[in-house]
Amino acid sequence: MDHLTLPSATVRSGRLRFTDPDGAARALALGAFSLAVPDGLDVTPGLDFCRSFHLPSRGPEDRRRGHREHGHPRSKLGYEDRPDQVEQLQLESFLWDDYLPADVAALLRRMKDLTLDTLHGVFDAAGVPEHDRDLVTGGARQDTGLCYTTVNHYRSDLTGRAGIVEHSDSGFITVICTDQPGYEILHEGRWLPVHQPPGHFTVNLGDAFRVLTVKTPRPVTAVYHRVPELHPEPPATDRSSFTVYMGPRYDMMLYQYDTDGVLLPYQGFRDFSVEKAKDLGYAFHSRIEAAHR
């Protein structure tokens, strides 16, 4: 089967740079690219946490395990047993220190800084002016937008279902770290496995970016992606991945440039997300939908 190699980029001194001259344009058109893991950033605590969060708790102080039962009362997201192979823990960044092991929270904070630098680099590439970015992101730079992690465990003992069903991410950007292949994107009508080079994250661009730029000269694709049913051969273990996501808050509007480049409100992000979940035939986060009624 064909593989797709994504354009690659690096963040140095806070600035996103693509390796090839056409890298930025390809990344916007694909809605995805590879991003080098910065020197000295150890992703092991995150991957280890993917392998433990779902196991039974060993006591009230145990943050590495017990997240299936935890409840996460301060989160609007929390644990979800999806109909796919994947089970997910999703936590907003302001809860990382309270709910996660210290080494995992520290890693996620560094990835969050990297995600923010990367987001601004993509805004540059897409021609989104600096002075509009606080409005459209709800203040990502001031930490008043929505940032959360998703921790994914692909349960290979579950059969007859996708790893994660095909979808686009809803926000601006998602940075993904994984330990094995499986990520695929829909490219020119075909599902292609993506070659993820060692030492790289994969970056997805999402619906908020697509809506914002669809009528501009450099429209951004919200990449359609999935993980198929996986049954890794021993000694390989269940696939792990974790992500840092940034998007609008659910109480915000999505924005769109019109053909004259004027920025206009498009639709409330919560309504957009609920409609999208219905179209895709999956349940939206019950705590966020409930806040809406």
Ligand X SMILES: O=C(O)CCC(=O)C(=O)O
Which residue ranges make up the site for Fe ion (CB under 5 A)? Answer: 169
Minimum CB separation of residue 151 from ligand X in Å reads 9
Span between the terminal Cα atoms of the chain, in Å: 47
Distance between CA atoms of residues 63 and 99, nearest Å: 6
Minimum CB separation of residue 81 from Fe ion in Å reads 17
Minimum CB separation of residue 135 from Fe ion in Å reads 25
Of the two residues 118 and 243, which places its CB atom closer to ligand X in the complex? 243
Minimum CB separation of residue 23 from ligand X in Å reads 21
Of the two residues 240 and 256, which places its CB atom closer to ligand X in the complex? 240
Other residues' Cβ atoms within 10 Å of the Cβ of residue 236: 12
Residues contributing to the site for ligand X (CB under 6 A): 150, 152, 164, 169, 176, 178, 183, 225, 227, 241, 243
**Among Fe ion, ligand X, none, what does residue 75 contact (CB within 5–8 Å per kind)?**
none
Minimum CB separation of residue 77 from Fe ion in Å reads 14
User: Cα dihedral angle (263, 224, 104, 93), rounded to 10 degrees?
Assistant: 30
**Among Fe ion, ligand X, none, what does residue 178 contact (CB within 5–8 Å per kind)?**
ligand X
Distance between CA atoms of residues 235 and 61, nearest Å: 31
**Among ligand X, Fe ion, none, what does residue 120 contact (CB within 5–8 Å per kind)?**
none
**Among Fe ion, ligand X, none, what does residue 152 contact (CB within 5–8 Å per kind)?**
ligand X
Of the two residues 93 and 243, which places its CB atom closer to ligand X in the complex? 243
**How big is the CA angle at 150 (ends 148 and 152), to the nearest 5 degrees?**
175
Of the two residues 152 and 156, which places its CB atom closer to ligand X in the complex? 152
Which token pair is 283? Answer: 């349940």
Largest Cα–Cα distance of the chain, in whole Å?
59
Contact call for residues 46 and 242 (beta carbons, < 8 A): yes
**For 62, which DSSP code?**
-
Which residue's Cβ has the minimum distance to Fe ion?
169
Which token pair is 168? Answer: 């686009």
Question: Residue 191 to residues 77, 105, 273, 280: CA-CA distances in angstroms?
Answer: 29, 34, 24, 18
Minimum CB separation of residue 71 from ligand X in Å reads 21
Of the two residues 139 and 228, which places its CB atom closer to ligand X in the complex? 228
